Structure 1
Amino acid sequence: MSQQQPVEKTGGRPARPDASMSLLNNVMEHSLDDGYAEAAARRGEEGRSGLPRTLRAKLGLAFGLVLAALVVTLGAAQAQVAAPTVAKERQELIDRVEDGTREADELQRQLATLRESVARMQREALRHEGGDSGELVSLLAAATPVEGPGVKLVVDDAKGSGGDGGGPRESSGFADTGRLRDRDLQRVVNGLWESGAEAISVNDQRLTALSAIRAAGDAILVDNKPLVPPYTVLAVGDGRNLSTTFQDSADGQYLHVLQENYGIRTSISVQDKVRMPAAPSLNVRSAEPLERGKGSTR
């Protein structure tokens, strides 16, 4: 078997063994791009600090630094000049708020004084014109605070939905939600009045002959003031007799059905002393004394 002779180039020189791999050789010998190499060379000539070496470049850098310092100094000076003005305006605003608060407090005190004066004159007029019945009229009109024996009735929404079966709500279109409704509270209050209560309050809201119990969504309103459960109903009267009479009445049985069918939670207890304030707003529309010997009003 004959040996292969090396291939010769023109001119009699032997060819390199890796002549066919010129691209790979170029990559290995020139690993850094020529442009990057030139840039590195220029940086080396200018020095490692990277600062300009010519006079014009140095002057430009100095001018830029001076200009930046001037801008910062002017900004600080303007802020220092404006600071007293901002502080003064802030203090003036605080003073105006404090003055407005004091005026509102003073007007509130005057309003409370006037309300008390009007209430006192109303009580005096009732005593003067009504004689011995003045105190009773004042009590029935909820114009004065009241204190005495009575009952405490607490009514709360159910923990969950009520049970199945018929109930007093089906005819009224109520859903079985286990929540006390405004008409439920109306029946409770009317039942207490009919059972002999002399004065009633719901969550410390004194009821009068003109009080309204309404609903706004699922909330119960008493005289347009929303109540939050549990609903605490206080009633002044002969406590033991009032409690028994109410529970035996139709409205008491209605509340018992709500408890059995819908899970409404109730509790009633006799109290030795019940206190409730006067009605917060008592509007006297018109009043005329009765003529002696006549029982009709005009």
Structure 2
Amino acid sequence: MTRSFIRPARLAAIGVFALAGLIFWVSFNTAQGTNLRSDSSMLRLTDLIQERSRQNAELDSQAASLRRQVDHLARRDDGSTKGQDRRLDALEERAGMEKLKGEGLSVTLDDAPTNATAKVPGLPDPEPNDLVIHQQDLQAVVNALWRGGAKGIKVMDQRLISTSAVRCVGNTLILQGRVYSPPYTISAVGDRDALQAALHNAPAIQNYLEYVDAYGLGWKVEEHKAMTLPGYSGTVDLRQAKPVG
């Protein structure tokens, strides 16, 4: 019986030609006009992220409703005094778990137009990163409002608590499992004059306002005589805790 076989050198040559053919096909397909920014796989990923964000919002709402029922049942049967209940209510308010009403203000930040040019003579044309809101911009506003004595802060539609983290990936905000796109609105309850002064005195915000003037980033501050912040509705994952008082 004659056994046929392929020499290793010939096998390697076949592999090289096959790989070259694959590379050629991919290059040809891209050259035909495949839009990498609107590739269907990327669109599916974006849709998935948005859907998961919507699901997280629904689960947060359900969890908040269940927690209110549990709290009601626990207080009804825990044998606590009215004084103890009042102290618990105060602690929950300070922790951001309850609605908060009062005067305050809101700050809205937005990306500049993608075709923006320098608005000030002598400045170079902007780089892409100069035209979008960054994580440090949002953090600067949040930190300034806390320093200004804010009693509570909401970013978009979510209340911030001590474990909240404001994070940006690309030009999207990820907050407590949900995804947001600009414009971003940050609201705070507190003395309006003190909050305004804190914004004005924050160096990081002054730096941001230079880009507002130079390239058209969005910045709007609105005062409110009365506003309501929702209570935090997500889960709390504490690794360490220390009693207050």
Taking structure 1 as the reference length, the TM-score comes to: 0.50
Q: What is the correspondence of 1:67-106 to structure 2 with a 5 Å cutoff? A: none
- Which residue of structure 2 lines up, in the alignment, with residue 195 of structure 1? 148
What residue in structure 2 maps to residue 150 of structure 1?
Answer: 104
Q: Which letter maps to 1:150?
A: G
Note the C-alpha offset of 1:192: 1.0
Closer/same/farther in 2, CA of residues 288 and 193 from structure 1, 3 Å limit: closer
- Is residue 143–residue 282 contact of structure 1 (8 Å, CA) maintained in 2? no
Change in Cα spacing, 1:143 to 1:266, as seen in structure 2 (3 Å) is same
Q: Structure 2: 5+ residue runs without aligned partners?
A: 1-58
How do residues 12-51 of structure 1 correspond to structure 2 at under 5 angstroms?
Answer: none
Aligned CA RMSD, in angstroms, stands at 3.8
Deviation at 1:254, TM superposition (A): 3.0
Q: How many residues align?
A: 179
Aligned residue for 2:129, secondary structure, equals coil
The C-alpha deviation readout for 1:46-94, integer Å capped at 9, x for no partner, is: xxxxxxxxxxxxxxxxxxxxxxxxxxxxxxxxxxxxxxxxxxxxxxxxx
User: SS in structure 2 opposite 1:229?
Assistant: coil
Partner of 2:220: 267
Instruction: Give the distance between the partners of 1:199 and 1:184, measured in 2 at CA.
Output: 19
Among 122, 128, 137, the residue aligned to 2:91? 137
- Which residue pairs with 2:68 in the alignment? 116
Specify the structure having the higher radius of gyration (Cα). Answer: 1
Deviation at 1:135, TM superposition (A): 4.2
> Is contact 1:119-1:143 (8 Å) kept?
no
Higher RCO (CA-CA < 8 Å; seq separation 6+)? 2
Is the partner of 1:143 in helix, strand or coil? coil
Question: Is the contact between residue 157 and residue 179 of structure 1 (CA under 8 Å) also seen in structure 2?
Answer: yes
Aligned residues with identical type, % of pairs: 27
1:220 corresponds to which letter in structure 2?
L
Letter paired with 2:225: D
Which amino acid is the alignment partner of residue 138 of structure 2?
A: L
| CA contact 1:239–1:270 (8 Å) conserved in 2 | yes
Alignment check: 8 A CA contact 1:240 1:270 kept: no
Which is further off, 116-125 or 261-270? 116-125
Measured in 2, the distance between the counterparts of 1:158 and 1:250 equals 21
Where does residue 182 of structure 1 map in the other structure?
135
Encode CA deviations 1:123-148: one digit per residue, 9 max, x unaligned.
89999897876444322311101111
Shift of 1:230: 1.4
3-state SS of paired residue (1:253): helix
> d(CA) in 2 for partners of 1:123 and 1:155?
41
How far has the Cα of 1:211 moved from its partner? 0.7
- Looking at structure 2, the residues matched to 270 and 131 of structure 1 have their Cα atoms a distance apart, in angstroms, of 34
In structure 1, what is the Cα distance between the partners aligned to 2:98 and 2:211?
Answer: 34
Change (3 A) 1:122 1:176: farther
Q: Distance in 1 between matches of 2:160 and 2:110?
A: 19
Please tell me whether the aligned partners of residues 127 and 134 of structure 1 are also in contact (alpha carbons under 8 angstroms): no
1:206 is displaced (CA, Å) by: 0.9
SS in 2 for 1:201: strand
CA distance in 2, matches of 1:109, 1:268: 29
What amino acid is aligned across from residue 156 of structure 1 in structure 2?
A: D
1:236 to partner: Cα distance: 0.4
In structure 2, relative to structure 1, the CA distance for the partners of 1:122 and 1:136 (3 Å cut) is farther
Cα separation, partners in 2 of 1:118 and 1:129, compared to 1, 3 Å: farther
CA distance in 1, matches of 2:94, 2:75: 12
